[in-house]
Amino acid sequence: MRSASDGSGHLHDIAVVGLGAMGSAAALELTRRGLGVIGFDRFTPPHNLGSSHGDSRIIREAYFEHPVYVPMVQRAFELWRELERASGSVLLRSTGGLMIGARDSTLVAGALRSAQLHGLEHSLLSADEIRARYPVLNPQPQMVGVWESRAGVLAPEACVAAQIEQAQRRGATLRFGEPVIRWEADAQHVGVFTAQGHYRAKQLIISAGAWVNSLLPGTPLPVRVERQVLHWFAPARDADAFAPERCPIHLWQFDGGRFFYGFPDLGAGVKLAFHHGGETTRADGVGRDVAPDEVAALRDALKRFVPAADGPCLSSVVCLYTNAPDEHFWIDRHPAHANVWVASPCSGHGFKFAPVIGEILADLVQRRQARFDLRLFRWR
Ligand X SMILES: Cc1cc2nc3c(=O)[nH]c(=O)nc-3n(C[C@H](O)[C@H](O)[C@H](O)COP(=O)(O)OP(=O)(O)OC[C@H]3O[C@@H](n4cnc5c(N)ncnc54)[C@H](O)[C@@H]3O)c2cc1C
Where would I find the H helices in the chain? 21-32, 69-87, 106-117, 127-133, 156-169, 292-305, 354-365
Tell me which of 12, 15, 26, 52 binds ligand X, using CB under 6 A. Answer: 52
Q: Is 208 exposed, middle or buried (0-12, 13-18, 19+ CB in 10 A)?
A: buried
Closest CA to 207 of 346, 36, 76, 349: 346
| Contact in structure between 69 and 204 (CB atoms under 8 Å) | no
Which of residues 198 and 349 has its CB atom nearest to ligand X in the complex? Answer: 349
Which of residues 141 and 285 has its CB atom nearest to ligand X in the complex? Answer: 285
Kindly report the three-state secondary structure assignment for every residue of 233-255: ECCCCCHHHHCCCCCCEEEEEEC
Tell me which of 248, 348, 355, 358 binds ligand X, using CB under 6 A. Answer: 348
Q: Does 344 bind ligand X (CB under 6 A)?
A: yes
Query: End-to-end distance of the chain based on CA atoms, in angstroms?
Result: 29
Residue nearest to ligand X (CB): 20
What mask of x and - would describe binding to ligand X in positions 55 to 94, judged by CB under 6 A?
Answer: --xx------------------------------------
Tell me which of 179, 235, 269, 355 binds ligand X, using CB under 6 A. Answer: 179
Residue 277 region, left (φ>0) first, then alpha (ψ -120 to 50), else beta?
left
Closest distance to ligand X from the beta carbon of 174 (Å): 11
Closest distance to ligand X from the beta carbon of 126 (Å): 26
Closest distance to ligand X from the beta carbon of 227 (Å): 9
Site for ligand X in 202-231 (CB under 6 A): 207-209, 211, 214-215, 228, 230
Sign of CA dihedral 44, 49, 50, 52: positive
Stretch that binds ligand X, among 47-55, 137-145, 236-244, 358-366 (CB under 6 A): 47-55
> What is the full DSSP assignment across 122-165?
EEEEEHHHHHHH-TT----TTEEEEEESS-EEE-HHHHHHHHHH
Classify residue 61 by its DSSP letter.
Answer: S
Closest CA to 281 of 353, 338, 229: 229
Separation between Cα atoms, residue 19 and residue 354, nearest integer Å: 11
Q: Does 12 bind ligand X (CB under 6 A)?
A: no
β-pair partners for 191: 184, 200
Tell me which of 4, 35, 320, 364 binds ligand X, using CB under 6 A. Answer: 320
Which of residues 16 and 136 has its CB atom nearest to ligand X in the complex? Answer: 16
Closest distance to ligand X from the beta carbon of 239 (Å): 23
Closest distance to ligand X from the beta carbon of 18 (Å): 3
Q: Does 350 bind ligand X (CB under 6 A)?
A: yes
Site for ligand X in 276-315 (CB under 6 A): none
Separation between Cα atoms, residue 196 and residue 12, nearest integer Å: 17
Stretch that binds ligand X, among 27-35, 48-56, 232-240, 332-340 (CB under 6 A): 48-56
Q: Does 21 bind ligand X (CB under 6 A)?
A: yes
| Contact in structure between 162 and 27 (CB atoms under 8 Å) | no
Q: Does 323 bind ligand X (CB under 6 A)?
A: no
- Total chain residues near ligand X (CB under 6 A): 39
Stretch that binds ligand X, among 5-13, 79-87, 120-128, 340-348 (CB under 6 A): 340-348
Query: Which residues lie below 8 Å from residue 104, measured CB to CB, with a gap of 6+?
Result: none
Closest distance to ligand X from the beta carbon of 327 (Å): 11
Query: Which residues lie below 8 Å from residue 256, measured CB to CB, with a gap of 6+?
Result: none
Tell me which of 4, 15, 17, 356 binds ligand X, using CB under 6 A. Answer: 17
Residues in touch with ligand X (CB under 6 A) = 17-23, 40-43, 45, 50-52, 54, 57-58, 179-180, 207-209, 211, 214-215, 228, 230, 273, 319-321, 344, 346, 348-352
